[in-house]
Structure 1
């Protein structure tokens, strides 16, 4: 029984140290971003999946960005339905929704492209950089 308990404690310790290492990796990676605290907050929940993989970190970051962009687009889209909007206000919000739609499309393409990284890595990364950096 003591041996099983010791084995479980060792396994738990290894899992916790891997998660801590992944969190440190995420913090270090996020330190180069414009909003490091938001980056860490958004990606830390994926630490177990990301571990210390730059590819998994990039895919998680793109996925989080896509989710947030879709949410923002839906919010602004709902604002266009407010009664009493002046024509210029409506058009400005519609233009914003159109831009956000382009952002969602390009982030979707980027997430999809990340799924093909095993083949012709640099070409796919170049595509992701083009689509993600455009926004």
Structure 2
């Protein structure tokens, strides 16, 4: 009897003091959503790594699409700052063609940044009545951001500096994953984050009036 009381006391103490005892079940659901969503992304490992450490909510497909866009924005912003700094201080050793390609690339990545911002803003203000139109806008802008990255590297004709190529390729990968999440959200029609419409009340059956 004394042993049973001791074990019960220890178990109760663990449940009251452990910070994960009551949260592990709640945390597993968002992580399961991230895994099941990233598995079919173009870059699944990168998707899982970036979204698993994302600090915001990830409870719905809409949350994931927004998170993926924010990740893409952060990577693109860093690449844009790097290219601007390089064009000012590190372009002297480049050929005239490479300097021209770098200027074009800097502008294109800046355009990508603007398009990603517009896409995120669209997802922040989704409405049921304009959902399809807004999703189409977001898909178009993120696709354009991807094209800008490809055009940037094409301008170097295969002679891009390794650090430029690495950063622009990284942006392309996270942006591709963001586009996948947006497309996946669009297929859901509502994204699960929209408020569900209240079911219409069923009409009451009319009473049968006897003809006798």
User: Could you say which TM-score interval applies, normalised by the shorter chain?
Assistant: 0.7 to 0.9
Alignment match, 1:124: 134
Structure whose alpha-carbon radius of gyration is higher: 2
Q: Which runs of 5+ in 1 are unaligned?
A: none
Deviation string, structure 1 residues 45-102 (Cα, Å, up to 9, x no partner) = 2376112x00010000001101101111111222212133322111111111111111
1:99 pairs, out of 105, 108, 117, with 108
Q: Which has the higher contact order (CA 8 A, sep 6+)?
A: 2
Q: Which runs of 5+ in 2 are unaligned?
A: 1-8, 147-212
Q: Does 1:65 align with 2:75?
A: no
TM-score between the two structures when normalised by the length of structure 1 = 0.85
Superposition map of 1:1-135 within 5 A = 5=13, 8=16, 12-46=20-54, 49-51=57-59, 53-81=60-88, 82=90, 83-119=92-128, 120-134=130-144, 135=146
Deviation string, structure 1 residues 18-49 (Cα, Å, up to 9, x no partner) = 21221111011111111101101101123761
TM-score between the two structures when normalised by the length of structure 2 = 0.56
Q: 1:54 to 1:8 in 2, by over 3 A?
A: farther
